[in-house]
Amino acid sequence: MNGMKPLLMGTNLKMYKTAAETQAYLSALQTLTQDLRTDTTLFVIPSYPALERAANTVKDKAILLGAQNMHPEEQGQFTGEVSPLMLQEFGIDIVEIGHSERRHVFHETDEQENKKVLSALDHGFIALLCAGETAEQKAAGIADEVLSMQLKIGLSGARSETANRIWVAYEPVWAIGVNGVPAPADYVRERHTSIRRVLTQLFPAQEIPVLYGGSVNPQNAEELIVQPNVDGLFTGRAAWEAEKFSVLIRQVLPLWQRKQS
Ligand code: PGA
């Protein structure tokens, strides 16, 4: 597929799957998606205790691996936290920052996300910054303002030399998880357009990939991937069985390729 950008598809395993389960999942996913290497960039973000086994399971970066969070400091008196040096030892590629559950269950602020983004970039990781408005913010008509603020603060101070390692995931808080309501494709298109505008303003020389996440499933994945400025899908529940994830990837890949041709 010359000149085509690979389809970006990933999943965050949240606080699911033990190390043994993660290993089984990854080895199945690796086998099931073997023929998709050149057309896709796949990534999986397991829990911390599963990272070592995950790294030993995946061969030749067939699937990129990430951490769900990271403390910005290299070491210190921060009980319960994990540092960039600890993550570097696993040879992982991505650090997910500011997932809705980090922001809303653990009350992380944009300023904290920003420290993590800068540290992740300085330590050679891809910083995957998640952004999304709550149902209340949506109802108040301020979704674009919220997204703009999360991106402008979250990515503040990122040097242009490292901006090629920034990925963004738009995940409306109200669309995530078992109680989430899948977002209409038109709504996703509007938000991605506005996110693209902000990112172009911040990093004119970079085409930062923007993924969509929040109740992505086989029923809505096709209409989401064809939207302009949607560069991939970030999936939770619908990707946690290797077979189902592989089917989902195959379902959207032709549409992604058609969109670019
Ligand atoms: P979900 O999770 O697909 O299960 O809604 C998405 C996410 O939290 O990234």
pLDDT digits (tens, 9 = 90+) for 120-141: 999 999 999 999 999 999 999 9
Most informative mutation of 176, 220, 241, 245 for ligand 1 (most atoms within 8 A of CB): 176
> Quick count: other Cβ atoms within 10 Å of Cβ 44?
28
Residue 66 CB–ligand 1 contact under 6 Å: no
Does position 2 have pLDDT exceeding 80, yes or no? no
pLDDT score at 14? 98
CB 256 within 8 A of CB 237: no
Does position 7 have pLDDT exceeding 70, yes or no? yes
pTM here is 0.97
pLDDT score at 3? 72
Does position 241 have pLDDT exceeding 50, yes or no? yes
Per-residue pLDDT, averaged over 51-66, amounts to 96
Per-residue pLDDT, averaged over 226-240, amounts to 98
Residue 235 CB–ligand 1 contact under 6 Å: yes
Burial label for 21, CB within 10 Å (0-12, 13-18, 19+), is middle
Domains in the chain: boundaries: 7-260
CA of 130 to the centre of ligand 1 (A): 11
CA of 118 to the centre of ligand 1 (A): 25
230, two tokens = 């949607």
- Is residue 111 flagged as an active site residue? no
pLDDT score at 20? 98
Query: Residue 234: pLDDT band by 50, 70, 90 thresholds?
Result: very high
**CATH hierarchy code of domain 7-260:** 3.20.20.70
pLDDT score at 124? 98
Query: Residue 4: pLDDT band by 50, 70, 90 thresholds?
Result: confident
Residue 11 CB–ligand 1 contact under 6 Å: no
Per-residue pLDDT, averaged over 78-85, amounts to 98
pLDDT score at 1? 44
pLDDT score at 261? 87
| DSSP conformation class of 174 | G
Residue 237 CB–ligand 1 contact under 6 Å: yes
Query: Annotated catalytic residue: which of 71, 96, 99, 101?
Result: 99
C-alpha 88/C-alpha 247 separation (Å) is: 32
- Is residue 104 flagged as an active site residue? no
Does position 78 have pLDDT exceeding 50, yes or no? yes
Nearest atom, ligand 1, residue 176 CA: 5
Does position 259 have pLDDT exceeding 70, yes or no? yes
Per-residue pLDDT, averaged over 223-234, amounts to 98
Residue 176 CB–ligand 1 contact under 6 Å: yes
C-alpha 261/C-alpha 241 separation (Å) is: 31
pLDDT score at 31? 98
| DSSP conformation class of 194 | H
pLDDT digits (tens, 9 = 90+) for 163-199: 999 999 999 999 999 999 999 999 999 999 999 999 9
